[in-house]
Amino acid sequence: MTFTQWFLFFLLVQVIHFAGTWKLYQKAGRQAWEAAIPIYNAVILMKIINRPWWWVILLFIPIVNLIMFPVIWVETIRSYGRHSTTDTILAIITLGFYIYYINYATDVKYIEDRSLKPRTDAGEWISSILFAVIAATIVHTYVMQPFTIPTASLEKTLLVGDFLFVSKFHYGARLPRTAVAFPMVHDTIPVLGVKSYLTKPQIPYLRLPGFEEIERNDIVVFNWPVDTVNAFQQYGDGKYYYKPIDKKSNYVKRAVGIPGDSLEVRAGKVVVNNEPLQLPGRAKTQFTYIGTTNGQGFNPRYLYEEYDITDGYYHDSNTNQFYIKALTESAYNRIKNHPNVTSIERYSDSLGSKDRSIFPNNGKLNWNNDYMGPIYIPEEGVTVDLTAESMPFYKRIIETYEGSEMGINNKLSLNGTQVLLNGQPTNSYTFKQNYYWMMGDNRHNSEDSRTWGFVPENHVVGKPVFVWMSWDANAQGFFNKIRWDRVFTTVKGDATPTSYLPYFLILLVILIAFNYFKKRRKNA
């Protein structure tokens, strides 16, 4: 739905509200016209049902309002003496239209000093749970969201088993695109394994102001742009699903290219604007290494403990060849001197070899994971030439990211060498939003922009800022334990992460002791 369509829908809701409540407003000592004025009518209704005015704000917060509307319906009928379970159920299952019956077909009386205390313990519990869910939904959607690192693409910066807090306000919180969704879950309702949202209606894209822009080398959580894969835990049925932007799978990578950059990958190393990418000190890139031994292999547990190898190791006792899926440069410099190693070298795709899985996925370029580019990272407001050669890079941007996902029916095609946009010849295109190039530090074990291309700005979720827990469930199966040195550490920084857990525990003890002695002194 466009902003115009939502505005018309808003006006329709006002008409429905007025038609169903104007007599109830009069019975509460108000004027009938007060039920017709948008927003003002909601403020007056809060006075009628004896609830704070700021509840009106909750009615305009997507997802939260889905919880608030039933609450308002029930509170309204209870303000006119309708307290029975039947009344409550009817108000909810009729989507509030039961109020029409109360308004026109009954002679109810307004209860001015209605008690707001629930009449049963169950009612008290339900009320507490509802507002706990509302508060948590606001925080989860607009402030801070928990996130778990599921894959090794950013090892050794972020580890598998890290539990993060992702800030929504650094880059600006994004309003949900899905207007109707189950609160505080992503695309699937846990346990039930069913879709958690309705595809339509959708809210137009809107991002609240943030206080910083995405900088090169920032670690970013975003929605996987090309996600149409099987969802809802029904793997194996061969189906694919359209997903709204905010319900696409969450990914976390490093923004190695920002809008306006020219990016290349040379021998696995990222080059931006003809300069080697300078990663922060905490970042450690990893590559695949192959080599041979003198006939003696390695104990996987020893490799884990001594060289921090977590992504896999394979040794062929027949050929004495071994394969390490991911290894840092510092670990390589140590393991190459191991007495069992006769040779070891970093694996790299050959310059000029062609990999059809590499963006733009047309099989015409001699690009691969280790050699690709240069490629321009689109910037909002910048105009580029559209030719038969450049079209594959921008086709998905124009047709999908700035087309169907924005409610625009864009179609890009070729007539010989002439580019056609919606059937009309064109030789240029101006980008409507910024784009980013996201990659994992684990260069040979990361599905990233090299495979599926640009990440649109409207797919950005937030910035990981804090590791509150880290669980070591190593792939080799040696340890299942808490990484205490990573608990309560920051994500960004050049130095080795410092745990603030001791300071937190000291502060917690001080607060407990203060409250204890304060209570004891009060009772003395």
Residues with active-site annotation: 153, 253
Question: 382 with 402: CB under 8 angstroms?
Answer: no
Strands 460-473 and 455-456, by their bridges, are unpaired
Distance CA 186, CA 177 (A): 12
Which tokens belong to 310?
């977590």
Strands 424-425 and 418-421, by their bridges, are antiparallel
Amino acid occupying residue 138: I
Strands 219-223 and 250-257, by their bridges, are antiparallel
What are the CA-CA distances from residue 101 to residues 82, 98, 112, 236 (Å)?
A: 12, 5, 21, 49
Which tokens belong to 109?
């009386």
If you write DSSP's letter for every residue of 374-423 in order, what string do you get?
Answer: EEE---TT-EEE--TTTHHHHHHIIIIITTGGGT----EEEETTEEEETT
Cβ atoms within 10 Å, residue 14: 17
Residue showing tokens 């505080």: 184
- Crossing angle between the packed helical segments 98-105 and 64-78, to the nearest 10 degrees: 20
Distance CA 101, CA 94 (A): 11
Cis geometry, peptide bond prior to residue 244 (ω within 30 degrees of 0): no
- Reduced to 3 states (helix: H, G, I; strand: E, B; else coil), residue 221 is strand
Residue showing tokens 């793997």: 235
Which is it for the CA torsion 240, 221, 244, 189, positive or negative? positive
Distance CA 502, CA 508 (A): 10
Distance CA 220, CA 218 (A): 6
Choose among 343, 346, 337, 280: nearest CA to 306: 337
Distance CA 477, CA 301 (A): 9
Choose among 253, 198, 271: nearest CA to 454: 253
Which tokens belong to 316?
């062929």
Question: 108 with 102: CB under 8 angstroms?
Answer: yes
Which tokens belong to 432?
């409507």
Choose among 175, 66, 67: nearest CA to 131: 67
Which tokens belong to 138?
């606001």
Amino acid occupying residue 60: F
Distance CA 478, CA 472 (A): 9
